[in-house]
């Protein structure tokens, strides 16, 4: 390298949960583009969850994406966000639908979870059925050429780093990776970077962006909570991460099936996150 050469800047691809902005995809895309994002994570449109969209709605969504020049970072499915004692065939059917939508919208990743455990049952009690069910889902993903990214979520099997690692290593599929969510780790008493980063980094494929306060569990913009976001982002930069960073702010409402922020709070969340990236020299595209 000559004296005049400078290293290429590190760039991550900015995305966000469109339905956190509003139910209308046109509004979702307008706000995302105003914030510098050219991708959307599809969890819902027109008030309907992505796995419940009709073929006609999926076609309409695909046409809107094309008009706006937007890509899809992931299908934010609710797969595995149900009790482990339910019918596993239900999740297999929902995955099949999510895969169909992913192919139609050009998405490589499908978000999923590792099942709620019933009251009175420990994580160890449900480990075997969880691994069995997710192994079946992962094999389907392998056949269809998509990657499942597991989001850590409170009260599911993979809620803390050790069980996320157990899940990924036990299923042992190239179609099952980690979607990292700092806020969710905080809400189960984990210091995300301190307790989990080194353990899970080899499997970390997708970054979901939100933060939370340890004392209350309240979700806050990136860098304003106890999610160790700056340490995590810096380490990802140094490790050569070049993937998606998907905003999931939950600043107005959070519930079992998702959350909502609205355009203004979504913008606040985006500016907080990109401000952190600016301090460590990471750009977004």
Burial of 32 (0-12, 13-18, 19+ CB in 10 A): buried
Q: Look at residue 1 and tell me if it is in a domain.
A: no
CA 96 to CA 77: how far, in whole Å? Answer: 11
The CATH number of residue 164's host domain is 3.20.20.150
**What does the block give as tokens for 168?**
């990924």
**Interval 209-230 mean pLDDT:** 97
Range of the domain at 196: 16-280
User: What are the backbone dihedrals phi and psi of residue 75, each rounded to the nearest 5 degrees, phi first?
Assistant: -95, 115
Q: Look at residue 21 and tell me if it is in a domain.
A: yes
Q: What is the pLDDT of residue 262?
A: 84
Domain total of the chain: 1
Q: Look at residue 75 and tell me if it is in a domain.
A: yes
Q: Look at residue 285 and tell me if it is in a domain.
A: no
pLDDT per residue as tens digits for the range 165-182: 999 999 999 999 999 999
Q: What is the pLDDT of residue 3?
A: 43
The 3-state secondary structure of 22-52 reads CCCHHHHHHHHHHCCCCEEEECEECCEEHHH
pTM here? 0.94
Task: Decide if 273 contacts 222 (C-beta within 8 A).
Answer: yes
Q: Look at residue 57 and tell me if it is in a domain.
A: yes
pLDDT per residue as tens digits for the range 12-58: 999 999 999 999 999 999 999 999 999 999 999 999 999 999 999 99
Q: Look at residue 8 and tell me if it is in a domain.
A: no
Task: Decide if 152 contacts 195 (C-beta within 8 A).
Answer: no
Q: Look at residue 51 and tell me if it is in a domain.
A: yes
Q: How far is CA 46 from the centre of its chain?
A: 20
Q: How far apart are the first and last CA of the chain?
A: 26
pLDDT per residue as tens digits for the range 128-170: 999 999 999 999 999 999 999 999 999 999 999 999 999 999 9
Residue 92 is inside which H or E element, if any?
A: helix 88-105
Asked whether the predicted pLDDT for residue 5 surpasses 90, the reply is no
Q: Look at residue 222 and tell me if it is in a domain.
A: yes
């Amino acid at each position: 390298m000559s004296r005049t050469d400078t290293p290429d800047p590190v760039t991550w691809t900015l995305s966000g949960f469109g339905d956190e902005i509003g139910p209308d995809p046109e509004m979702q895309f307008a706000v995302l583009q105003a914030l510098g994002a050219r991708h959307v994570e599809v969890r819902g449109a027109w008030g309907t969850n992505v796995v419940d969209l009709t073929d006609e709605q999926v076609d309409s969504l695909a046409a809107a994406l094309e008009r706006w020049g937007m890509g899809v970072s992931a299908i934010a499915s609710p797969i595995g966000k149900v009790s482990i004692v339910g019918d596993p065939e239900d999740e297999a059917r929902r995955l099949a639908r999510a895969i169909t939508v992913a192919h139609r919208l050009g998405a490589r990743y499908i978000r999923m979870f590792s099942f709620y455990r019933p009251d009175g049952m420990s994580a160890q009690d449900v480990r075997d059925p969880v691994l069995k069910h997710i192994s079946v889902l992962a094999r389907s993903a392998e056949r269809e050429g998509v990657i499942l990214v597991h989001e850590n979520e409170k009260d599911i099997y993979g809620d803390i780093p050790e069980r996320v690692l157990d899940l990924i290593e036990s299923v042992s599929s190239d179609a099952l990776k980690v979607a990292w969510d700092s806020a969710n780790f905080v809400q189960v008493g984990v210091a995300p970077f301190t307790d989990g980063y080194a353990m899970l980094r080899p499997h970390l494929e997708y970054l979901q962006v939100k933060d939370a306060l340890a004392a209350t569990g309240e979700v806050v913009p990136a860098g304003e909570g106890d999610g160790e976001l700056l340490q995590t982002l810096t380490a990802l930069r140094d490790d050569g991460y070049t993937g998606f960073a998907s905003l999931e702010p939950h600043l107005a409402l959070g519930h079992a099936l998702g959350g909502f922020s609205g355009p203004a709070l979504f913008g606040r969340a985006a500016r907080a996150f990109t401000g952190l990236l600016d301090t460590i020299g990471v750009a977004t595209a």
